[in-house]
Amino acid sequence: MINVFSEMPSAEIKAEITSTMRSQLGSGFNWAGVFRFWLAIVTGAHADYRLKHSLDLGVLAGCFASLGFLFPAISYFSLTGYAIYGTLVLINIPRRQAMRAILRGQTKIP
């Protein structure tokens, strides 16, 4: 279990957290923010890249490519997009490693 607080918050803080969370119910999802975050990860501006991300997109691209038997344009688009993604990931490996080194220097490990 992850403990966010070093000690349990007071009832006043719990009420404030609850009201803030309830005010967000029903609001739209920030898809533009998710896309910007993904783009930052791919281009190396954020160090949170994992190989799992590439494998998941590869499986998705493969699924779309299999539709190429019916619609060849989908197959070309899917495989071209994945090739561009892979190229961006490979080009930005040094930048991502530098970002991880910076973050490692800022993090205090007990």
pLDDT digits (tens, 9 = 90+) for 79-97: 899 999 999 989 988 888 8
Rounded to the nearest 5°, which phi and psi values hold at 68?
Answer: -60, -20
The Cα–Cα gap between 12 and 20 comes to: 12
**What burial class does residue 90 get, using C-beta atoms within 10 Å of its C-beta: 0-12 exposed, 13-18 middle, 19+ buried?**
exposed
pTM of the model: 0.61
Q: Do 49 and 88 touch, CB atoms closer than 8 A?
A: no
Q: Per-residue pLDDT for 4 more than 80?
A: no
Q: Per-residue pLDDT for 23 more than 70?
A: yes
**pLDDT for the residue numbered 25:** 82
Residue ranges of alpha helices (H) inside 1-110 are 11-24, 31-42, 51-66, 72-91, 93-106
Q: What is the dihedral of CA 60, 65, 69, 73, to 10 degrees?
A: 120
